[in-house]
């Protein structure tokens, strides 16, 4: 069972990561055998696959950052609600997400499932106006 203190620690590290995200910085949050799932992207298995997916996202949106709004523990980890934003195809793109993390005993994520509506990102990536 994840305690509030453990959730707070992870959420603070997550917020710090998203203030200046890098592919390398993922190792401060995710275990080597992490499973990552999100809408419209293949589920990845392992930190290296996660880094490759994140590198592709940073290639698409180089100035991507995130702002955490709130979080709370659940039995296996925590939920984090946040907004990601950056520049895509010359325009600003922003979307809210809720990530559910499962944590190990050392506070590292073993799994992340992200929930968000990808419509705005897909429209802008294809050059459509929302």
Pick from 90, 97, 83: nearest CA to 128: 90
- What pTM was estimated for this model as a whole? 0.92
Domains assigned to the chain: 4-118 (3.10.450.50)
pLDDT in tens, 36-86: 999 998 999 999 999 999 999 999 999 999 999 999 999 999 999 999 999
Q: What is the pLDDT of residue 123?
A: 82
């Amino acid at each position: 069972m994840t305690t509030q203190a453990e959730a707070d620690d992870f959420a603070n590290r997550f917020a710090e990561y998203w203030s200046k995200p890098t592919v390398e910085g993922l190792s401060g949050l995710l275990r080597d055998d992490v499973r990552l799932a999100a809408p419209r992207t293949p589920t990845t298995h392992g930190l290296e696959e996660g880094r490759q997916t994140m590198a592709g996202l940073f290639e698409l949106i180089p100035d991507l950052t995130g702002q955490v709004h709130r979080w709370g523990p659940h039995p296996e980890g925590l939920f984090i609600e946040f907004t990601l934003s950056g520049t895509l195809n010359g325009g600003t793109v922003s979307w809210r997400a809720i990530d559910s993390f499962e944590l190990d005993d050392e506070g590292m994520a073993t799994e992340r499932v992200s929930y968000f509506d990808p419509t705005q990102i897909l429209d802008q990536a294809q050059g459509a106006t929302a």
